[in-house]
């Protein structure tokens, strides 16, 4: 059943939900949470499909907030769906004009009472007050750094404003990798002396994986670029040999530990619906994700500081202090030379003036002049 509402209000949307539920023959609500999806017109079809697929495992009320252009007049349109491929309820809310800057005021009356609230941003998360207001309504907040044009910068932003209940789908994509790596170290407990992660350029999952490995194993991790897709290999060096997981096709990985034959394990790249379903299984704070994100942010900041210092050094590797001292000496030498030149010019001018002055008589000539005057 689909009910379309034009130029409506939150109260009318709630009434339409109740009416549709009664018409469908299920007056009681069997939903376990409210899932808020904040997207644009281009993002919402794929996000809605993923949420409806996840809703088969977690019956929920899906509130899909589609933000429009703020230049139009304020308007609120809604579409209520029940039984359309999901075991829960779907409400597509389109806000335009100034109303798009205050989505929380429209969404708050539509939340399921006494149940958790999860907010998901399929694209980049805006840093405005409207996004903060929706985040305040939620127990958990799901983002996806891979959807950002600058994933590494997006992860650093997440680290700066990290709050209990935050997570990212770039971290969820690592669940199978982390399971295999932990199983390998349990099966072959040995001190790891070097770690290398290979992935395609700009992979936020690889950045979080390096942060997790560095935080847990207390060893620096080297990140190298490969052709992809995603993460292609993780190698941990031990005294007895390498523990390696390599995946070149995004489907099957080769799993090897010292002293045992290589094995093939399934390690496919999962769709977004499976990632969302996994995140909806827990409502507590993910401490391990927080640790990995903070370790990555610390490592990234250190790398940027080191790069800034290198670019500030002059060609030849001379230290800035030595350059300053050399420049000071050059300035002092220039001033000394100028002072000497000025002294020489003054002396020469004085000598020239004494040569052009008329000479005065002295001796016998002076006496003759006196007698003549008498």
In what order do the strands lie in the sheet containing 89-96? 2-5, 75-82, 89-96, 60-67, 33-39, 117-120, 140-143, 166-168
DSSP, res 99: G
pLDDT by 10s per residue, the chain, length 374: 888 898 888 999 999 888 888 877 665 567 889 999 998 888 889 999 999 999 888 889 999 998 766 566 888 999 998 876 677 789 999 988 888 888 899 999 999 988 999 999 998 887 777 788 888 999 999 999 999 889 999 999 999 989 999 999 999 999 999 999 998 888 887 889 999 999 999 899 999 999 999 999 999 999 999 998 999 999 999 888 899 999 998 899 999 988 888 899 999 999 999 999 999 998 989 999 999 999 999 987 876 665 555 555 544 444 444 444 554 555 555 556 666 666 665 555 555 454 444 444 444 444 454 444 44
Report strand pairing: 241-246 vs 231-238.
antiparallel
Phi and psi torsions of 73, nearest 5°: -70, 155
Q: What is the pLDDT of residue 1?
A: 81
Q: What is the pLDDT of residue 354?
A: 46
Class assignment of domain 2-169?
alpha beta
What is the rounded CA–CA span in Å between residue 242 and residue 255?
11
Q: 177 and 209 in contact (C-beta within 8 Å)?
A: yes
Task: List the beta strands (DSSP E) in the chain.
Answer: 2-5, 33-39, 60-67, 75-82, 89-96, 117-120, 140-143, 166-168, 194-199, 221-225, 231-238, 241-246, 252-256, 263-266
Give me 2's structure tokens.
């689909």
Give me the count of residues in the chain: 374
DSSP, res 300: H
- Tell if the pTM clears 0.75, that is, is over it: yes
Q: What is the pLDDT of residue 143?
A: 94
Q: What is the pLDDT of residue 343?
A: 62
């Amino acid at each position: 059943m689909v009910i379309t509402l034009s130029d409506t209000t939150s109260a009318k949307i709630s009434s339409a939900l109740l009416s549709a539920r009664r018409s469908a023959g299920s007056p009681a609500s069997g939903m376990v949470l409210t899932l808020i999806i904040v997207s644009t017109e281009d993002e919402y079809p794929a996000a809605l499909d993923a949420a409806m697929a996840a809703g088969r495992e977690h019956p929920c009320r899906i509130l899909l907030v589609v933000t429009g252009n703020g230049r139009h007049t304020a308007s609120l349109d809604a579409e209520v769906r029940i039984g359309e491929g999901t075991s829960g309820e779907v409400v597509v809310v389109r806000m335009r004009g100034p109303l798009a800057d205050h989505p929380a005021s429209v969404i708050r009356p539509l939340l399921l009472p006494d149940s958790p609230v999860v907010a998901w941003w399929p694209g980049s998360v805006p840093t405005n007050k409207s996004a903060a207001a929706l985040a305040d309504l939620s127990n958990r907040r799901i983002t996806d750094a891979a959807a950002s044009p600058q994933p590494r910068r997006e992860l650093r932003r997440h680290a700066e404003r990290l709050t209990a209940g935050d997570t990212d789908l770039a971290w969820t994509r690592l669940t199978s990798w982390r399971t295999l790596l932990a199983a390998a170290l349990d099966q072959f407990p040995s001190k790891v002396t070097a770690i290398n992660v290979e992935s395609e350029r700009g992979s936020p999952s690889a950045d979080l994986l390096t942060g997790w490995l560095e935080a847990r194993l207390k060893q620096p991790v080297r990140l190298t670029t490969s052709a992809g897709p995603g993460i292609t290999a993780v190698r941990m060096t031990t005294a007895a040999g390498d523990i390696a997981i390599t995946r070149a096709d995004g489907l099957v990985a080769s799993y090897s530990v010292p002293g045992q034959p290589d094995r093939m394990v399934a390690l496919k790249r999962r769709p977004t619906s499976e990632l969302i379903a996994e995140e909806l299984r827990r409502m507590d704070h993910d401490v391990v994700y927080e640790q990995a994100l903070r370790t990555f942010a610390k490592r990234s900041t250190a790398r940027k500081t080191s790069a800034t210092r290198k670019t500030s050094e002059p060609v030849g590797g001379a230290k800035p202090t030595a350059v300053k001292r050399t420049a000071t000496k050059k300035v002092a030498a220039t001033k000394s030379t100028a002072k000497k030149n000025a002294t020489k010019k003054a002396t020469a001018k004085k000598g020239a003036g004494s040569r052009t002055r008329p000479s005065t008589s002295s001796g016998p000539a002076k006496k003759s002049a006196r007698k003549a005057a008498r």
